[in-house]
Amino acid sequence: MSFLMLLLIVLLNLSKLCVDSRKIPAEPSTCPLSFGFLYELAKESSPRRALMDVQTQCQYIQKGILFVRSDYLRTDGYFVPPEHSVHACWETYRTIVSAYLQDFDVQNTCGYHPEWISGMFMNVTSQEEFESLIPGSELKEMRMTCNQSLDNDNVCDSCIRKLSKIDEIHLQGRRDTNDSSDGTDYMFMYAAAFSNSVGSRDLATAKCFFKLEFSVDEFVSERKHKSVISGVFLGCLVGALGAFIAVWVFWMLHKRSDKGKKKENKLYDDNNKEDASLEIGVRSTNLVKFRIHEIRTATTNFSRKNIIGKGGYGNVFKGKLLDGSEVAFKRFKNCSASGDSSFAHEVEVIASVRHVNLVALRGYCTATFPLEGHQRIIVCDLMHNGSLYDHLFGSEPEKLTWPIRRKIALGTARGLAYLHNGVQPAIIHRDIKASNILLDDMFEAKVADFGLARFNLFGTSHLSTRAAGTLGYVAPEYALYGKLTEWSDVYSFGVVLLELLSGKKAYENNEGEVSLLTDWAWSLVKEGKAMEVIDERIPGRDSVELMEQYVHVGVICVHPELHARPTMYQVEKILETKMQLGKKDSVLEAS
């Protein structure tokens, strides 16, 4: 169901606590945004039933804030509330969401986004400033187009086309690099506030301008036909029961006559036979238990031309399922069949963890190959932009711009912060590195292989006491003593961040002499030369202060003392809010 309607139901329930049930729930005086006006909508509408992934839920949350901001513009004449109230508004919204959606924390799931509340375009804060950007004749024509009943889809479509045209002619191309919002959001907030004759607080406005859909008639219609449906259902049930009994009797007789004719093979050939364990159980609705022949078909029998990654654990293959979707198959070699049950359970747990900055796990497979032994395969979404390693150190590395590098750093921090704080019990990744940071079509970072690092080591029949991880990325306390904490991931993240900034690998082996990126970066920062860590060839470089701050974040994350490192949540906050770390040498105080 849409997030906005969940929000409305929460407000409706909160209102029952008031002495006067008709009174809108009170809001903190420090937040001028009127979240309470949604209460009136909740009384007259029902939520539309729909299943949404995390990314869609976060988008609904953002659109809901734009909807409330449009009402604030109508009543107060401003697109953004006062700066001092932004945090209070965020916490109000966050509290409302978590009160209804248990285990769904907006901040941990979607990230901390104060710009959703205070995001500005061209430093425009008021109605008058915005109207000065667009000719009065255009605004008048827009109001005439949109000042009709938006319940009519044709009217809504016509209005949206007009808004898009105005945006394209007068606003696009004028966005400043410091803008945290865009002209389209402002255009829709303005239209929602002033174009509709019934005001901004109606269902049609929410749907037309912010894609927040409601269904008023769905449950009314359901109740109206309940008795009819029940009667039809009962008749169908009786008929189906009789048919089922007849089919069952026939099947049992057939089974007896055919008993002893079937033989089971312990080993399966490469073309159409599978591990017997794959025959047990029913496929989960959330996680698919793939059969080996499906994976062979998708990968053209594990063709070398489909290999997109290699490692000590095995290879990663790209492939296409029967439904046309492209996926990646990670194949673990030299495993023991005795560990399949714990592997399957762990994969089920991992698949339940969803976040916009985590790679979604689709399914898994366990199978025995006559020549290669027992193996395990996990199936994930395919990321067409490959890994961060490909872009930084591939055969033809692409020079990522500074804004994209910042986006990747923040997305990775959000994903790890969610693993550490957003799920219970917390998940420690163990093997954060550039090749485990995948990039989607929009260069959004997706952390891969979380929770699976130990299978790289414990897949064989014998146990290993080695620390999971990759040379150059592993925290010293974990490498030396096997002490694993969330700060081990923080260290690895710091190494990745330094790679992003410098364009240098975590370690280099020159004629037997190993040089670590962390040692090199520390030495420069100690000498007050933080900017020398930054690759001077990065396109679109930002201010010196901000880029130095990123270097300081990377260095403090790789501090040799684990308790001197920040948490991933603190790192996320610093990168999100551009929080200053203080004096340039403050990073070194604990060293």
Could you identify the residue written with the tokens 């045209």?
165
Give the residue among 10, 154, 130 at the shortest CA–CA distance from 80. 130
> How many residues make up the chain in this entry?
591
Task: List the structure tokens of 275.
Answer: 């591990």
Tokens (6 digits) for 243? 């048919």
Chain centre distance of CA 45: 29
Rounded CA separation 187/124 (Å):
12
CA distance 50 to 248: 36
For the stretch 499-512, what's the b/e string if a residue is b when 16 or more beta carbons lie within 10 angstroms of its beta carbon?
bbbbbbbbbeeeee
The catalytic residue among 185, 431, 449, 489 is 431
Helices 203-210 and 54-76 cross at an angle (nearest 10°) of 120
Phi-psi region of 258 (alpha: psi -120 to 50; beta: other; left: phi over 0): alpha
Alpha helices in 475-516 (DSSP H): 476-481, 486-502
Which one, of 118, 101, 116, 114, lies nearest residue 422 by Cα?
101
* 280-285 CB contacts, 8 Å cutoff, 24+ apart: 284/348
- Count Cβ atoms below 10 Å from residue 163 Cβ, excluding itself: 21
Q: Is residue 431 among the annotated active site residues? A: yes
Q: Which residues are catalytic?
A: 431
